[in-house]
Structure 1
Amino acid sequence: MIASRRRPAFHQARSAADAEALGAVPRWSLADLYAGMESAAFARDLDAAGRDAEGFAADYRGRLAERAAAEDAGAGLARAIARYEALDEALGRAASYAQLLYAEDTSDPARAKFMADAQDRVTAVSSNLIFFTLEMNALPDATLDRLAAEGPLARYRPWLDDMRKERPHQLDTKLEQLFHEKAVTGRAAWTRLFDETITALRFDVDGEALALEPTLNLLQDPDERRRERAAAALGETLAAHRRTFALITNTLAKDLEIANRWRGFEDVADSRHLANRVERDVVDALVQAVQAAHPRLSHRYYRMKARWFGREQLNHWDRNAPLPFAPPATVPWAAARDTVLDAYRGFSPRLADIARRFFDEGWIDAEIRPGKAPGAFSHPTVPAVHPYVLMNYQGRPRDVMVLAHELGHGVHQTLAAPQGALMAQTPLTLAETASVFGEMLTFRAMVARAETPEARFALLAAKVEDMLNTVVRQVAFYSFERRLHEERRSGELTAERIGELWMSVQADSLGPAIRLGPGYETYWSYVPHFVHSPFYVYAYAFGDCLVNSLYGVFRAAPDGFAERYLALLAAGGSQHHSELLKPFGLDAQDPGFWSIGLGVIEGLIDELERLPAP
């Protein structure tokens, strides 16, 4: 049974008090995309895209080999790619609007229908474009290399190179079209079921019917009994829906296994590595380095935290609890904005100027309301518009870091936009660079401004916990996904078995100082990345370790660093990570690279251990 969206009076009164403390928290305007669901421009743009896609197919389908042999082949193919890119942007604009409108209130049937209908239209139109990359990849390497060496086609050389990497795993046109169109009733439908199910859940905490986001927030409440009851509510409600979540997970894992088998991917995560433009051995080296560091990082830190609480072990609901001596703090929205912008400005005025536009021009939705998508993200939309940031701001110091993180994404996406729709998108391995770097800048600024030893100690501890959540926890998530997908090859997994895999990797990563009690075995079911983007999670660890190394370069030699850093962000997806890191003297394929990043976390733990606990 789905609980009512109506909130008890106590919760409403408490929220009013919280709202007064936070000040005015913004809600975005999507008008830069479209005016509303009934927008004539939205319908007109999709109709025009449909006609243009049909015309594009009529002009080029089955004729690219002939065009590549023409006298002006380079210029002709460049014009064809430009038309393809324009269509990609038009469809991306419509799809982005539908997705963002739905994220505003995933419980609204009208918005859900609008998104589903828009998705159907976009899929139908884009079906006429599938032939293009397949036929481009059928052209001989020598031909494309010659034509893209100079002239108009040279601009698209990075996109062509990336496209060639997909060639070994492409199917014939009819099969690709079938996979594309079936996604609407396959992966996309199951993902929507997950989103709507998780949004509709209500967790009973002391008689209050809370949505997921505020319930998770209570795991950081100063009151231990409140944390325990929130944890129990999470476990109880998620367990009541475990069959649904297990069905979604099994179905999507099987869907990926079928796609991987048809496309010839050997490993369960190889398709993600290809999409990320990162080699499997690089990811394996990251995972091995993190797992080897568990005793020095997570196991050690949580032993320290247990001692600060006067215990041998912490219950799982105390893992992210504020320290018992941490000063309580509610950060108003205006203060969070100023803190992040000041930190960005101290590094680069240009970075701060771009970030300020998100506040000044209504590109952020930070208020908490029923039905709103949980979590946080920065959606790049399309290069012709701008990104939009969604978060659920509750006034914690950690929320300030989330704001810095998502604005980092937004700045990155803004800087990369001139690369165009085909090359602006950054592979996930580098997509977390600006976001984590923004967090680091903000953290350092907050530590420098801390007014008491207790506040500084609490900030250092919170940063260590964020890093552990970003590196150790996300690699554990990746290990969990690997085990789940590998085992799914042999048959469907029960919810109980999925819980067993979850508990195993969590125990290994968190260590003996964290007691994983009853109910925790269900917590895998609310993690959206497992549903939306399988194996995405290692990108967080990749980005955190990369940024730790970059920040070390910056601290050692700040002159000229900001310019090189902004150039890295502006490259978008036009260069491989190895090329982008060369100006900084870094190489992710070097076995010692990951030790640098992990050493930064270990150094912060050393610093905490040296400081007297308040």
Structure 2
Amino acid sequence: MKNDIQGFPTPDPSWDLDVIFPGGADSDEFDEAITALMGDIDALVAQVEKLPALAELDELSGEPLEQWVQFIEESERIQDRAREAGAFANCVAVTNTDEPKAMRLPMRLNSIQTQLRSVRVEVEARFRGVSDEVFASLVEHPNLERCSLYLREIRRDAEQAMSPELESLAVDLNRDGLHAWGQLYDRISARIEVVVPDEEGTGTKKVSVGQAKNLLSNPKRDVRKKAFEGLQVAWREKAPELAMILNSIIGSERTLYTRRGGDELTMPLQANRVERATVEAMFEAADEFQDVLVDYMHAKAKLLGVDRLAWYDLSAPVGETSDEKISYEQAQRFIVDQVSDFSERMSGFYQQALADQWVEAEDRPGKAQGGFCTGFPVSGQVRIFMTFGGTPGGVQTLAHELGHAYHGWLMRDLGAFERKVPMGLAETASTLSEVLVESAALERAEGAEKLRLLDERLQRGVAFLLDIPARFRLERAMHAVREHSELDEDQLTELTTDIFGKGFGEGVSGVDPTFWASKLHFFITGLPFYNFPYTFGYLFSRAVYERARQDGPAYADVVDQLLVDTGRLTAEEIGQRYLDADLTEPDFWREAAASVREDVAEFIALVEE
């Protein structure tokens, strides 16, 4: 395609944060923003205290109605400023894990987040017992219709909450309890060093967890094996402390949801705006693909010349491979070229985001593990964090995160409460971006190149149809054990080995026993069960992709509108409106995953040629 945007592709794999707040961890502008934000939140607290309790009103109109409208609009503006500051602090921290001042930066947002949670408690208290008539007057106001779903959720949460006094106490305790445990995990895991072979293969070197994980995609089995063993040693060394952290996180979560009258899934399901029946139907369909994915893994083992895949073989490249790494510039061009056939708007945004250095992809020590996309709503910008190791998997990760960025960019002009997108639907654009890249490449590929691309696609099938369901069941098992006893590293390792062993069946010779410790998603305190939405996004985006194939290029505009509506509708409403589908039925999910069987059959045929 023609690249019209100056600076694309960029050779620089580091992002530019100075346009947000110059100076990094020493930014004076950031300090000023924090000070101003704290003052304005104090004013917001005073404002909420003057709001009339809705249950005490027979009707809502005139001055009381305008008070509520002004408060909600001001709350949105402050939420955006808090998110901007929090995103900056986190971005500085994850790229400078060896600098104590940078690592402490996110902690400066603790009191702000605590105050905002306290405001939410006060708002819920004023919503409790509101009549249908009064509530309708609020959500039907011309300025608030756009965020009616969010307001309905406040009303629901108000009825499920503990007393306002207990909810306020929970907010204060969580600041230095539940959420502090999560931050401790981030700090410990970010500083872990893994011993792996050096480039010459004659000695060893120390790398970050993210760099070591990249080696699990290395073409050389011995390199993968030693990287896996190095990771095992590193995580086992920290296992006692990490088990204590996880035990405390789950214990705290259990205390709260028990007091609120729910179970471990109540809050995650509500946060993801998805019904329990939908998740159950989704996993019922996913389980039906275990046998065919085991067949794929057996075929891959044959190709690699082993009886069965070891855990560190799952991401091994096959087909047309080379020791030569994919350059960052090559990866950018490849992604943009594939996406352009579907949507010029999407590919144009990708070019601009990359040219403007919105991506941190440098492969170096001193960075946190993992990858993410975060928004800066005041600046109208987005940032992507990852470690690009020059592997095909790294190309897909970049495509995935660029999809997230595009989703956020499409919603940049909406209010904060309209941009509150549940994680499952948030995975739609990102996973669709991956599908677009791999599908376009597959259509052009032949022979060994096609084998490689099919393998990469099926690796994701294993991840979302076997791995994610296992994570979900492991987290539920953690809660079940924690109900009666403490969790320790031995129990967690045993649970992991058992559940993942069943999930992968005969496909692998063994699983990763320290997965419970290395998977940071288990330690995210703001949103438990940070797993099932990935399978949702994977399958839902495949359904969207199939519709796009049927309807042609014009469907790209429909997809854009779908993405904009992800903060306004529930998952089931999105499915009904845009796909005419009932997400609570397993048939929808079976059909979305159906092409996996075709991919496995084609992969096996290529292996046996």
Q: TM-score normalized by structure 1?
A: 0.91
For the 8 Å contact 2:361–2:387, the answer to whether it is kept is yes
Matched, 1:193 2:181: no
Name which of 506, 509, 518 aligns with 1:526. 518
- SS at 1:387's partner residue? strand
- CA shift for structure 1 position 338: 1.2
Q: What does residue 230 of structure 2 align with? A: 233
For the 8 Å contact 2:243–2:489, the answer to whether it is kept is yes
- SS at 2:13's partner residue? coil
Q: What does residue 160 of structure 1 align with? A: 151
For the 8 Å contact 1:95–1:118, the answer to whether it is kept is yes
Matches within 5 A, 1:413-492: 413-450=408-445, 452-492=446-486
Cα deviation per residue 1:35-84 (whole Å; 9 max; x = unaligned)? 23443433333333333333333333153237864435544422221111
Q: What does residue 10 of structure 1 align with? A: none
Q: What does residue 109 of structure 1 align with? A: 100
Q: What does residue 515 of structure 1 align with? A: 509
Q: What does residue 552 of structure 1 align with? A: 546
CA separation in 1, counterparts of 2:421 and 2:19?
23
Aligned length: 588
CA separation in 2, counterparts of 1:385 and 1:115?
21
Name which of 29, 39, 48 aligns with 1:41. 29
Structure 2 letter corresponding to 1:56: L
- CA shift for structure 1 position 365: 0.5
The unaligned stretches of length 5 or more in structure 2 are 1-8, 198-203
Cα deviation per residue 1:206-244 (whole Å; 9 max; x = unaligned)? 322222122222222222222222222222222222111
Structure 1 letter corresponding to 2:545: Y
- SS at 2:18's partner residue? coil
- CA shift for structure 1 position 383: 5.2
- CA shift for structure 1 position 526: 0.5
CA separation in 1, counterparts of 2:50 and 2:357?
45
Structure 1 letter corresponding to 2:101: A
Q: What does residue 293 of structure 1 align with? A: 289
CA separation in 1, counterparts of 2:278 and 2:406?
27
CA separation in 1, counterparts of 2:193 and 2:469?
29
In the superposition, relative to structure 1, how do residues 463 and 182 fare at CA in structure 2: closer, same or farther (>3 Å)? Answer: same
Structure 1 letter corresponding to 2:518: Y
- CA shift for structure 1 position 122: 4.3
For the 8 Å contact 2:84–2:375, the answer to whether it is kept is no
- CA shift for structure 1 position 480: 0.8
Matched, 1:149 2:140: yes
CA separation in 2, counterparts of 1:188 and 1:373?
18
CA separation in 1, counterparts of 2:208 and 2:72?
45
Matches within 5 A, 1:159-558: 159-206=150-197, 207-265=204-262, 267-297=263-293, 299-323=294-318, 326-382=321-377, 384-450=379-445, 452-516=446-510, 520-532=512-524, 533-558=527-552
For the 8 Å contact 1:95–1:122, the answer to whether it is kept is no
In the superposition, relative to structure 1, how do residues 204 and 293 fare at CA in structure 2: closer, same or farther (>3 Å)? Answer: same
- CA shift for structure 1 position 536: 1.3
CA separation in 2, counterparts of 1:49 and 1:235?
43
CA separation in 1, counterparts of 2:221 and 2:479?
36
CA separation in 2, counterparts of 1:33 and 1:141?
43
Cα deviation per residue 1:424-459 (whole Å; 9 max; x = unaligned)? 021111010000000011112222443x51111111
Indicate the larger mover: 455-464 or 379-388.
379-388
CA separation in 2, counterparts of 1:584 and 1:121?
40
Matched, 1:136 2:122: no
CA separation in 2, counterparts of 1:151 and 1:287?
40
Matched, 1:597 2:596: no
Structure 1 letter corresponding to 2:81: A
In the superposition, relative to structure 1, how do residues 193 and 76 fare at CA in structure 2: closer, same or farther (>3 Å)? Answer: closer
In the superposition, relative to structure 1, how do residues 489 and 546 fare at CA in structure 2: closer, same or farther (>3 Å)? Answer: same
Structure 1 letter corresponding to 2:286: V
Structure 2 letter corresponding to 1:524: W
In the superposition, relative to structure 1, how do residues 31 and 130 fare at CA in structure 2: closer, same or farther (>3 Å)? Answer: farther
Name which of 92, 114, 117 aligns with 1:123. 114
Q: What does residue 606 of structure 2 align with? A: 611
- CA shift for structure 1 position 282: 1.1
- SS at 1:374's partner residue? coil
Structure 2 letter corresponding to 1:143: V
Matched, 1:565 2:556: no
- SS at 2:176's partner residue? coil
- SS at 2:195's partner residue? strand
In the superposition, relative to structure 1, how do residues 324 and 442 fare at CA in structure 2: closer, same or farther (>3 Å)? Answer: closer
- CA shift for structure 1 position 152: 2.9
CA separation in 2, counterparts of 1:113 and 1:92?
17
In the superposition, relative to structure 1, how do residues 97 and 310 fare at CA in structure 2: closer, same or farther (>3 Å)? Answer: closer
- CA shift for structure 1 position 121: 4.3
Q: What does residue 59 of structure 1 align with? A: 47
- CA shift for structure 1 position 187: 2.3
Matched, 1:586 2:574: no
Shift >4 Å, 4+ stretches: none
CA separation in 2, counterparts of 1:537 and 1:359?
28
CA separation in 2, counterparts of 1:201 and 1:40?
31
Q: TM-score normalized by structure 2?
A: 0.91
The unaligned stretches of length 5 or more in structure 1 are 1-21
- CA shift for structure 1 position 150: 4.6
- SS at 1:592's partner residue? helix
Q: What does residue 15 of structure 1 align with? A: none
Q: What does residue 18 of structure 2 align with? A: 31
Matched, 1:83 2:74: yes
Q: What does residue 3 of structure 1 align with? A: none
Structure 1 letter corresponding to 2:290: H
For the 8 Å contact 1:75–1:153, the answer to whether it is kept is no
Structure 2 letter corresponding to 1:187: L
- CA shift for structure 1 position 25: 3.8
- CA shift for structure 1 position 126: 5.6
CA separation in 2, counterparts of 1:383 and 1:599?
42
In the superposition, relative to structure 1, how do residues 129 and 253 fare at CA in structure 2: closer, same or farther (>3 Å)? Answer: closer
Cα deviation per residue 1:486-519 (whole Å; 9 max; x = unaligned)? 11111112211111111111111212131117xx
- SS at 2:285's partner residue? helix
Cα deviation per residue 1:5-44 (whole Å; 9 max; x = unaligned)? xxxxxxxxxxxxxxxxx99342111123212344343333
In the superposition, relative to structure 1, how do residues 44 and 326 fare at CA in structure 2: closer, same or farther (>3 Å)? Answer: closer
- CA shift for structure 1 position 387: 1.5
In the superposition, relative to structure 1, how do residues 129 and 52 fare at CA in structure 2: closer, same or farther (>3 Å)? Answer: farther
For the 8 Å contact 1:383–1:421, the answer to whether it is kept is no
Percent of counterpart pairs with the same letter? 24
- SS at 2:419's partner residue? coil
In the superposition, relative to structure 1, how do residues 222 and 120 fare at CA in structure 2: closer, same or farther (>3 Å)? Answer: same
